[in-house]
A and B are shown apart, each in its own frame.
Chain A
Amino acid sequence: MVNIAAIYREFEQDNLDTINSLHIECGVMRTLIERFPGDNTIKQWSEYFIRLNGAEIENLMEDVEYDRKTAAELERL
């Protein structure tokens, strides 16, 4: 029988991994801004992607909370 709680735990882990990779991407963007201090285009695009990743991380945080809650409820059944 398929363990649905385990599937939610996997979703949770996937989302945690994605949050981490988005943070690493933000680090790459910050490196780019530093490496090209005079390039306004790179700066603006990098800052845009950092903001975008920040918003995505916020969404994923909510998803992780939902996955955790759902998995815990299914495990209680």
Chain B
Amino acid sequence: MTGKRQRSLKDYNGEDKVISSHEMKLALDQRQEAVIRVKSLFPSLDRYIEDFRDGELIAISGPTKMGKTLLAQTLTVNFAKQGQPSLWFTYELPARQFLSQFPELPMIYMPARLKARALDWLTDRIIESFEKYHTRIVFIDHLHFLFDLSRTKSPSLEIGTVVRRLKGIAVNDELMVFLLCHTTKGKADGTLSYENIRDSSFVSQESDCVLMIKRTPDDGENTARARVEFHRRTGVLEKTVDLIKVDGLLHERISQERPATRERADFQ
């Protein structure tokens, strides 16, 4: 490596210059560990994942009509209680229906009109909302509205690009992005895992956490089970949280069984 280019980079002093691990550590020491930390207010989930933090991409998945949106709406209300309002892109439900599903109107933000299959537009709205209202939490319902499936030769690669970009937004802008996505039907025995997320393994590869949710009618009316498939920061794998819908929102259902027995229960 010789010549003019080498000489010009020797004096390079941009924001992205190469620095030593010592300089990096000193720079990090000056920053907070996390700009925001919020709890789900489901005690077991909070214990497993040690709160949600900025820079994280969290995938919420599960089959259709199994409570993904309800879980996301419950998290929205619980985050708002902690002073952190969310920005919502509700592609799946019309705005009127979406807002009417909250028992009380929470302080949230959403675009007056939605544009599907427009990632640049979505990025602009996220930044706009942050600049105007200081929202650091984003919910996108759901992933398949972010690209044109009919024109895509390889949905898997397209999803990979979208998810990687969302992860980049979360990290660079210190935001928390919740991405709702569908699953396939799962294995013949009815069990589900993050491997069943529709069209792409990139979702789980790029996510910091995958939460699966499924209704559990055998346990009673309005019950569901959420499962932390994995959580990169804490290293938690396959932990379940039993939930029940009360007054329009989900709450943790305290099981009578011993916890060890409950963890082994199949996610069916």
Q: Which residues of A approach B to under 8 Å, CB–CB? A: 23-24, 26-28, 30-31, 33-34, 37, 47, 50, 54, 57
Contact = CB atoms under 8 A, between A and B. Distances in A.
A24 B132 contact: yes
Contacts of A37: 32
A47 B35 contact: no
B83 A27 contact: no
A26 B133 contact: yes
A62 B132 CA distance: 24
A24 to B, nearest CB: 6
Nearest to B131: A27
Interface centre among A26, A27, A31, A34 (most CB of B within 10 A): A27
B64 to A, nearest CB: 33
B120 to A, nearest CB: 23
A31 B135 CA distance: 10
Interface residues on B, range: 10 to 19
B173 to A, nearest CB: 13
Given A27-B134, A47-B83, A54-B107, 10 more contacts: A23-B107, A23-B133, A24-B133, A26-B134, A27-B135, A30-B83, A34-B35, A34-B134, A37-B32, A50-B83
Closest 4 pairs (CB-CB, A-B):
A27-B134, A27-B133, A30-B134, A31-B134
B70 interface: no
Interface in B149-175: none
A27 B32 contact: no
21 contacts: A23-B107, A23-B133, A26-B85, A26-B133, A26-B134, A27-B132, A27-B133, A27-B134, A27-B135, A28-B134, A30-B84, A30-B134, A31-B134, A33-B83, A34-B35, A34-B36, A34-B134, A37-B32, A47-B83, A54-B107, A57-B107
Nearest to B84: A30
Nearest to A61: B105
B31 to A, nearest CB: 11
A34 B36 CA distance: 8
Interface in B106-145: 107, 109, 132-135
A28 B131 CA distance: 9
Nearest to B130: A27
B204 to A, nearest CB: 30
Given A34-B35, A34-B36, A50-B83, A26 B107 contact: yes
A30 B84 CA distance: 8
Nearest to A38: B32
A22 B133 CA distance: 10
Interface string B34-60: 011000000000000000000000000
A28 to B, nearest CB: 7
Interface string B84-112: 11000000000000000000000101000
Nearest to B133: A27
A57 B133 CA distance: 15
Contacts of A27: 132-135
